Chain A
Amino acid sequence: MKKILIYIFVLFILSSCMKNPEYKSYTAELKIDFGDDVPSEYQEGAKVVLNNLNKSYSVEALTTPEGIVNFTGVEPGFYSATITHSFSANGCNVYINGLKNLDIFSSIIDTIPIVVSKTNAFIIKEYYYSGCLTPAGKQYLSDQYIEIYNNSETTQYVDGLSIVEHESYGIGENYWTFLPDDIVVKMIWTIPGNGEEHPVGPGQSIILARDAINHKDDPNGNPLCPVNLGDADFEFYVYTASNADIDSPTSPNLIEDLFTFRGTDVCFHVKGGSAIALVSIPGGTNEEERKEFINNNLIAKNNSGGSSTRYYCKIPVDNVLDAVEVVFDEPHAIYKRLPIELDAGYTYNEFGARSAKCLRRKVKEVIDGRTVYQDTNNSSEDFFKGVEPKPKIYE
């Protein structure tokens, strides 16, 4: 009996080896730097979202009258903090956005800058880059397109506006952080016209198609493709001696102003990562002036091995009408490239490559039959992540 008691005592001692997890819990005190742009009476109630980038959950809090939010019980990890706020003053809607990546491995006190955003008449309404699969299971990418929408109440002209793609796919730190007032692009395609050739009515849109064909019925198409782009307004056409890119006779071609990685066709990354913007390049409808601006703003970058140099173009942020920060997925959001005054958030197609899904802007309201899309300059808030493509359908 004595030995049995000794046994039990030893086991009791050994059981003290079992311990509870010693987990860490931190606080994050975030002060929103409203500056002079936001009157103090509007600084309360701004929604701040702290998003755990690894585990895809988020917590929300509203700012105090002093513009401060306190998050308690924060587990260690990589986070993004986004601020979304709006108010009406002097008859105008003012949108406030802010974004900062936070590595929380201790309690932190940090300041988040904001931008008071301007909204433009033209917005990117739909961006379809994922492509789809053929009945044979092959990838089909010719159906990529961008839809530009007139979100204003007056007719606007798209002549001379350009669509650009950022230099990086967002898989590493942004190389161009030393140019905070510019975005650096590898592709510039401009809508032709003299300034009054291509009107877009209020609540109307244009389609910029990679290949302007009816992808569902065309012999070169794919019966499983979700879109018919036969009536696209413009087409990305890349001339090569081999005529590898089919030139649709029904849609005028966009003007190729810059195509650093010139291939046989324009192709946006099917996994995401192609951040795009609608810009108004100085010179606008005048091709020579436009190209002169581009030539004067070329900037070189060596590849990682240093064996070759490529030239890209830097475009001032002030010339950007609308931009969408498209990333691969949530973990890659830390490699955001566009400045927050253009896009305070980020988005991606959560169904991934070849899913036949697109990014589409959310509807804010419908005024007298005209759809007004949400444009807070925060794509995390403004876009649906992975929905059926619906070109020229406004709902």
Chain B
Amino acid sequence: MNKKIFFTLLLSVQMIACMAAKPDSLKRVSLSSFQLLHINNPWISSSNPAGLSKIDGIMPATINLGLFFEDGDYKRVQQGDNLIHYQFFTESYSKLKKVSLYGSFRYDKSFEKNLDYSCVNNPFRDTPYTMIDTIGGDKCDREFFTVKGGLSVPLNRKLVLGGAVAYNVGLSSQDRDPRPQNKVLNFSITPGLLYSIDKFHFGLNFIYEYYNEDISVKIIKENEYITLFQIHGPGMFTFHRASSFARLYDRNGYGFDSQINYKSGNFNSLFGAKILFSNEAVKDGRKASNASWSVCKSDSELDGILLDIYNHTTIKNKLTIHAITANANIHTYLGTEIIQRLEQVGETNLEHWITYAREEKYGSTHINARLMYDFIKLKNNYHKNYGLKFAVNYYNFEEKYYLPSQIQNYENLLLSFYLDKSFYLKKNIFSISAGCKYKTNLSGKQNFEKTNFIVDKLLIPDFEYLTDSYFAPGLKFSYERSLNKYFDSIFINTNVDMIRASKGFSRIMVNFTFGVNF
């Protein structure tokens, strides 16, 4: 079936289901409904779809259009100077008898300008095995569709079965030789169970993820060859010159997430632990005239293990909510290079890549720990009066390439603080939020046995970005108006964040959202 027809049908079904839900004039959905939904229902933050059955309160839905703009010189080397991003987004939570449902659809279209050193859709995907070219000033055009759906069905009084699917597909392309066309598919399926005993609830869900990025690099200019670099680690690469090239990233991930939830009166706490294993194979080749993979070479493999421990605790006391979110995750990667040589074999003397060795050459560790406190004062059960948010985020990164020894590591601390206040004037709600972020580098060093242009042009400037301190004030303003028919409210929302880094670089990010809640 044509993708566009499929997505349109899916969206229509979802919207009809949302509209069919009985309106409740006492429980008007507003912008703050989504924040309250997440704070009051810790199960939503877990990956267990069976937790949908534990949602209390209103089941909000939204349809909105967004415009995101970003510009400035405080950026990573492989990031564009500016970005324009359009988005259509709709999501809804609903209940049909005993079945709890969640669905969302998102369409993203973005243009990233002046992009350097990248032939992959996302060069910051934690894999060292990227592919780059040195012809800069690219414009990357991305178009992605994301559909998510989940449901939970009580099997009996104690046991709930849930399932969720997420499907993200899109295309990114660049407009200057060499022109990579990246077809990206991201898919996950999550079945889960939830078992309740009195005030305790135990959850367990399985996770399967699949990622596929199929890159076809073309050079439109006739008779032109361009050098493409296959990165193997910090400052390590192989290269070749070609007029076309193809690369395939193929990743499978699987794991499970387990949860314990204690809920009693005003106290609601969810503790969870997730482990996820992944294996990504990278293959290179040229496309023959029949568009099949020919002379396919195995470049590398990346094995990853993610451990995530999290806790969401909410204490609700009449119109006051205290919410504490803490999580720590460690993500390690092990990279294996596959050493091959193209040889003529057999009686036909056809060329094949012959594997000589598989060498474990790369390792990296990402540690991310976060503690966040939310204080919310409600106007009534469904609307915010004012709020305060404070968060501390610690990030530690280390990567090593072995022989020759190429090492870099750093650790950063990010502090953020926000205040918000809502004003109610009859049918109108004005909300204003102000705050700031402060990032500081705690330590960091690069130690390269071999230096080359990749180190000079990419790794050193990127490291300066990653270890630079910054101060980022942010301002948010939103306006909502209640509606009497079809929808609960219509809103417009504006965010402005401005980063000022210590070395004089800056970046501004502006976000406009317009839509309806119901």
A residues whose Cβ falls under 8 Å from a Cβ of B: 3-4, 7-8, 10-11, 14-15, 17-25, 54-57, 73-78, 103, 105, 133, 137-139, 172-173, 304, 329, 331, 334, 352-355
Contact = CB atoms under 8 A, between A and B. Distances in A.
Contact of A329 (B224, B241, B365): B241
Nearest to A25: B403
Interface stretch (B167-175, B280-288, B327-335, B483-491): B327-335
Contacts of B225: 352-355
A311 to B, nearest CB: 20
A54 B360 contact: no
A76 B359 contact: yes
A21 B334 contact: yes
Nearest to B362: A21
B5 interface: no
Interface residues of B, number: 48
A11 B359 contact: no
Interface string B243-262: 00000000000000010100
Given A23-B360, A56-B239, A139 B339 contact: no
A72 to B, nearest CB: 11
Main secondary structure of the interface of B (DSSP, over half): strand
Interface string B356-370: 110111110100000
A354 B344 contact: no
The 3 closest A-B pairs by CB, nearest first: A21-B360, A23-B402, A75-B403
B466 interface: no
A329 B359 contact: no
Contacts of A334: 341
A23 B403 contact: yes
B202 to A, nearest CB: 9
A334 B343 CA distance: 11
Contacts of B351: 172
Contact of A56 (B238, B273, B277): B238
28 contacts: A7-B260, A7-B273, A7-B309, A8-B309, A18-B305, A18-B365, A20-B363, A21-B361, A21-B362, A21-B400, A23-B361, A55-B236, A55-B237, A75-B359, A75-B403, A76-B339, A77-B339, A133-B223, A133-B224, A137-B221, A137-B222, A138-B222, A139-B223, A329-B240, A329-B241, A331-B342, A334-B341, A355-B225
Most interface-central of B260, B335, B404 (chain A CB within 10 A): B404
A4 B271 contact: yes
A22 B360 contact: yes
Given A3-B260, A21-B363, A76-B357, 9 more contacts: A15-B330, A18-B330, A18-B365, A23-B360, A55-B232, A55-B237, A75-B361, A76-B359, A354-B225
A147 B307 CA distance: 65
B404 A11 contact: no
B275 interface: yes
B349 interface: yes
A318 to B, nearest CB: 31
B450 interface: yes
Given A3-B260, A7-B273, A76-B359, A138 B223 contact: yes
Contacts of B222: 133, 137-139
A17 to B, nearest CB: 6
Contact of A54 (B221, B339, B400, B403): B339
A133 B356 CA distance: 39
Contact of B224 (A55, A331, A354): A354
A332 B70 CA distance: 45
Contacts of B224: 133, 137, 354
From A4, A54, A74, A105, residue with most partner B Cβ within 10 Å: A54
A198 to B, nearest CB: 36
A11 B227 CA distance: 45
Contacts of A19: 334
Given A19-B334, A55-B238, A14 B362 contact: no
Contacts of B348: 304
Contacts of B336: 21
Contacts of B332: 18
B344 A173 contact: yes
Contacts of B236: 55
A105 B307 CA distance: 35
Nearest to B232: A55
Nearest to A270: B223
Given A55-B237, A137-B221, A11 B307 contact: yes
